[in-house]
């Protein structure tokens, strides 16, 4: 008999649940119906129909369509749908935009139904897939409700971009909240200020600063990290580097759930210190102090390419502490924001014109449809948004109420885990002979211990943060054999395409389904292997992005003439500054206006030389390389003139001292033909971790 399943939520969790129930089990087993409060699918991820950040029903979308994913396209995906199939023939970015994510996982047909009706239906099973991010959270800060300026939740900041210029001209901007949204918001405002300062011929940096107040220490991770193996080294998307199976100890890969020990916190900090390098740590490890008398907090992470460099430049002024009051001045319509820092000092930020609340979301609205007795059985807690429910088996179900399931309902969900949760529910409800046992007292106790744990010193950033362990645990329970990427079965990153679910007992009766799934997974894994190959074009994309990010800021420049050695160089020549700004052409993803400032005693007729550096993450008819250098237009000295150089990168190699490779140090060379001068150019970028310690530009006569 067909089981009717009500799925609440038409985001990725709800969609993958419906797809799994329909296609991974014999036809007629399940009849899913998806319900959503909006008129379109996609949830947080806009489906791109229409291409606007405003929903069909007129309500604003939560995500900026232009926003990049925090993880690569290999992780932001389901196992049986490759990005290459959705965008055939296109050169895809490793980190897609939100609009591309929505387009990849949703298609819609619209029907006009003018009559709204209220009706009831009976279902056999219920899936809560409406997500953790149900409602914006703004803390109760004394004086905030009297603030005459703008109070913006970080999820709507992208819609305020056009108003930020007026706001920053009036006063300071304060970002409240750390983690992902705090870093993203602070970086977005800083980039806007930088772009505004570059709107006239003379560069006038904004006097207003971006004040970022965060309550605990965190690492700001760039999207590309160095991966060093015995044979090769290269830059990879951070998820491909961090979720590599080779990082786990030998033996069965177990799912870790529960409080974080101080030893584990120290190990994680040490990993990031080694990976990122000491120079980057000074600006990318916020709020951390080497105090042996203080207990080490479990490290949090945020992902942002520009944050650390904006901190280095002084555009973002970060402080660890808490905002305790907002004191408004009705005459100026500005306010003073009072903060208590982590060391106990009280500081006041004056002339505040806008406050951005990067304080996250609350999940409770998603659970409001459940009756009290069900919530009680789920150990529902309104006082702990970190873990509002106590569930079995990776946050999927509670054995006492087996007809209610959860998919994607936890803080920080991964697409692969959503898919695994949907498979687990399907197998449980299908009632196969080898039916899974859903009662897992150890996981319940792990979640309970997290509730009891000190939130500052024993809790991690996310309750179910062990992505690798969770995927492997589900795979064992579901009888999924992980695909091998290379000769070693215990190597390579964990991505959904490695865990294809389709056996004679679980798949549908349609043989063509399994053939399509295999084809899609193979296509994704072939693409992944290319990205992991250090000399492949995909690896050069990553290297170009790593170089471009690390050039942000000011550099001391010296000049060495032909025939001289380093000791005979001309000494200090000036500063070369890379100012980030919004790309002035849609075919480019990032852009710098670069200015060389030469001291008067070394002045030439062109005292301040300018050029534009651009990054194209994907190829197009007009952007054929990853990094390009353009002259500035002579009329305004701001817009692009003519293309001067295309940089062609060589594979990364390790820095060496004699015969020994230096741990954590790398070199990337790039060559270019100067199209305007006919000279041959060579760039050499020396990395320590993710930071460029020095770089060299040489010109040679073309023979």
Residues 6+ away with beta carbon under 8 Å from 588: 614, 615, 616, 623, 628
pLDDT of 74 over the 70 cut: yes
DSSP 27-96: TTSEEEEEE-SSSSS-TTS---SSSSSB-TTSPBPSS-TTPBPSS-TTTSS-TT--HHHHSTT----SS-
Say how far apart CA 602 and CA 613 lie, in whole Å: 24
pLDDT, residue 515, reads 82
Same CATH fold assignment for domains 3-135+362-532 and 138-217+281-297+299-359: yes
DSSP 582-612: --SSTT-SEEEEEEEE--GGG--SSSEEEEE
Nearest CA to 533 among 317, 168, 227, 133?
227
The token duo for 432 is 């196969």
pLDDT of 435 over the 50 cut: no
Nearest CA to 172 among 147, 117, 119, 209?
209
Say if CB 272 and CB 563 are below 8 A apart: no
pLDDT of 224 over the 70 cut: yes
Of the chain, the percentage scoring pLDDT greater than 90 comes to 62
Say how far apart CA 77 and CA 97 lie, in whole Å: 13
Would you give the distance in Å from CA 296 to the centre of its chain? 25
Say how far apart CA 224 and CA 243 lie, in whole Å: 13
Helix, strand, coil tally for the chain in percent (to 5) = 30, 25, 45
pLDDT of 570 over the 70 cut: no
Say how far apart CA 263 and CA 268 lie, in whole Å: 9
Backbone dihedral angles phi then psi of residue 682, each to the nearest 5 degrees:
-135, 130
Query: Could you say which architecture CATH assigns to the domain 138-217+281-297+299-359?
Result: 3-Layer(bba) Sandwich (3.50)
The token duo for 589 is 């993803």
pLDDT 10s digits, 277-294: 999 999 999 988 766 567
For 71-77, what is the mean pLDDT?
96
Say how far apart CA 317 and CA 196 lie, in whole Å: 19
The token duo for 333 is 């319509």
Nearest CA to 131 among 358, 361, 300, 452?
361
Long-range CB contacts (within 8 A, 24+) of 473-478: 473/253, 473/254, 473/255, 473/394, 474/394, 474/417, 474/420, 474/421, 474/423, 474/424, 474/499, 475/420, 475/499, 477/393, 477/424, 477/436, 478/420, 478/423, 478/424, 478/427, 478/436
pLDDT, residue 383, reads 86
Residues 6+ away with beta carbon under 8 Å from 457: 262, 295, 297, 298
pLDDT, residue 513, reads 74
Nearest CA to 264 among 466, 528, 50?
466
Q: Where do the domains of the chain lie?
A: 3-135+362-532, 138-217+281-297+299-359, 537-700
* Average of per-residue pLDDT values in the chain: 87
Say how far apart CA 582 and CA 590 lie, in whole Å: 7
What topology does CATH give the domain 3-135+362-532?
FAD/NAD(P)-binding domain (3.50.50)
Which of 115-119, 248-252, 573-577, 599-603 has the least mean pLDDT? 599-603
pLDDT, residue 255, reads 94
pLDDT 10s digits, 486-519: 877 788 999 999 999 975 545 454 566 778 888 9
Which of 134-148, 178-192, 230-244 has the least mean pLDDT? 230-244
For tokens 């990853």, the residue is 626
Would you give the distance in Å from CA 96 to the centre of its chain? 10
pLDDT, residue 562, reads 62
Say if CB 520 and CB 82 are below 8 A apart: yes
Would you give the distance in Å from CA 248 to the centre of its chain? 23
pLDDT, residue 510, reads 58
pLDDT, residue 44, reads 80
- Residue 640, Cβ neighbours under 10 Å: how many? 18
Looking at residue 543, the DSSP 8-state letter turns out to be: H
Give the residues across from 373 on adjacent strands: none
pLDDT 10s digits, 340-385: 999 999 999 999 999 999 999 999 999 999 999 999 999 999 988 9
Q: What is the CA radius of gyration of the chain?
A: 27
pLDDT, residue 605, reads 41
Which of 22-36, 72-86, 665-679 has the least mean pLDDT? 665-679
Backbone dihedral angles phi then psi of residue 688, each to the nearest 5 degrees:
-120, 105
Residues 6+ away with beta carbon under 8 Å from 642: 630, 631, 675, 676
Find out whether the peptide bond into 50 is cis, omega within 30 degrees of 0.
yes
The token duo for 159 is 């819609």
DSSP tally for the chain: helices H, then strands E: 15, 28
pLDDT bin (cut points 50, 70, 90) of residue 614 is very high
Say how far apart CA 285 and CA 299 lie, in whole Å: 10
pLDDT, residue 552, reads 97
Between 619 and 113, name the one with better pLDDT.
619
pLDDT 10s digits, 23-52: 999 999 999 999 998 877 888 876 654 445
Task: Tally the C-alpha atoms within 13 A of residue 586's C-alpha that lie toward its C-beta.
Answer: 1
Nearest CA to 392 among 426, 424, 430, 366?
424
């Amino acid at each position: 008999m067909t089981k009717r399943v009500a799925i609440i939520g038409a985001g990725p969790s709800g969609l993958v649940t419906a797809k799994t129930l329909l296609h991974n089990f014999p036809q007629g087993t399940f009849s899913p119906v998806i319900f959503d409060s909006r008129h379109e699918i996609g949830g947080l991820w806009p489906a791109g129909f229409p291409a606007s950040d405003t929903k069909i029903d007129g309500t604003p979308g939560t995500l900026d369509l232009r926003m990049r994913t925090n993880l690569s396209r290999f992780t932001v995906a389901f196992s049986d749908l490759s990005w290459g199939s959705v965008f055939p023939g296109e050169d895809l970015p490793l980190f897609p935009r939100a609009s591309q994510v929505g387009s990849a996982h949703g298609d819609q047909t619209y029907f006009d139904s003018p009559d709204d009706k209220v009706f009831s239906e009976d279902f056999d099973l219920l899936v809560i897939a409406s997500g953790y991010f149900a409602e914006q959270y703004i803390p109760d800060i004394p004086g905030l409700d009297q603030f005459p300026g703008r109070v913006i939740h970080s999820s709507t900041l992208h819609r305020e971009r056009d108003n930020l210029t007026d706001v920053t001209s009036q006063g300071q901007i304060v970002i409240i909240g750390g983690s992902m949204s705090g870093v993203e918001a602070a970086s977005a405002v800083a980039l806007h200020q930088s772009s505004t300062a570059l709107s006239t011929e003379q560069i006038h940096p904004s006097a207003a600063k971006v004040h970022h107040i965060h309550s605990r220490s965190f690492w700001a991770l760039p999207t590309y990290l160095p991966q060093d193996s015995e044979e090769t080294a290269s830059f990879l998307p951070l998820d491909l580097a961090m979720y590599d199976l080779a990082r786990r100890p030998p033996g069965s890969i177990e799912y870790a759930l529960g409080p974080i020990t101080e030893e584990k916190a120290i190990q994680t900090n040490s990993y990031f210190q080694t990976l990122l390098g000491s120079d980057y740590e000074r600006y990318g490890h916020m709020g951390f102090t080497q105090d042996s008398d203080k207990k080490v907090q479990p490290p949090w992470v945020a992902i942002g390419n520009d944050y650390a460099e904006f901190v280095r430049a002084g555009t973002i002024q970060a402080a660890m502490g808490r905002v305790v009051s907002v004191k408004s001045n009705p005459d100026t319509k500005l306010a003073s924001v009072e903060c208590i820092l982590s060391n106990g000092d009280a500081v006041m930020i004056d002339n505040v014109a806008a406050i951005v609340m990067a304080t996250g979301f609350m999940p409770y609205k998603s659970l409001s449809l459940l009756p009290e007795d069900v919530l009680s059985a789920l150990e529902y807690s309104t006082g702990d948004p970190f873990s509002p429910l106590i569930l079995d088996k990776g946050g999927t179900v509670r054995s006492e109420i087996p007809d209610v399931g959860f998919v994607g309902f936890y803080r920080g969900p991964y697409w692969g885990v959503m898919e695994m949760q949907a498979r687990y529910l399907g197998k449980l409800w299908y009632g196969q002979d080898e039916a899974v046992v859903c009662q897992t007292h150890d996981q319940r106790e792990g979640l309970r211990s997290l509730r009891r744990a000190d939130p500052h010193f024993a809790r991690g950033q996310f309750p179910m943060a062990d992505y690798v362990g969770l995927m492997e645990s589900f795979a064992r329970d579901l009888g999924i054999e992980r695909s091998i990427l290379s000769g070693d079965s215990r190597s390579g990153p964990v991505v959904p395409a490695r865990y294809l679910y389709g056996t004679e007992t679980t798949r549908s009766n349609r043989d063509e389904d399994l053939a399509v799934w295999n084809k899609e997974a193979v296509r994704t894994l072939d693409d992944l292997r290319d990205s992991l190959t250090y000399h492949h074009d995909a690896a050069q994309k990553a290297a170009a992005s790593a170089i471009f990010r690390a050039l942000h800021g000011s550099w001391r420049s010296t000049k060495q003439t032909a025939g001289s050695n380093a000791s005979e160089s001309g000494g200090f020549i000036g500063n070369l500054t890379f100012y980030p700004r919004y790309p002035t052409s849609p075919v480019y993803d990032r852009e710098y206006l670069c200015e060389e400032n030469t001291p008067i005693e070394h002045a030439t007729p062109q005292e301040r030389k300018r050029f534009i550096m651009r990054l194209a993450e994907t190829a197009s008819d007009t952007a054929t390389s990853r990094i390009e250098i353009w002259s500035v237009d002579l009329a305004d000295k701001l817009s692009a003139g003519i293309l001067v150089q295309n940089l062609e990168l060589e594979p990364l190699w390790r820095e060496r001292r004699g015969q020994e490779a230096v741990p954590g140090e790398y070199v990337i060379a790039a060559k270019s033909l100067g199209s305007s001068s006919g000279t041959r150019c060579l760039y050499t970028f020396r990395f320590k971790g993710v930071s460029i310690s020095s770089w060299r530009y040489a010109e040679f006569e073309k023979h």
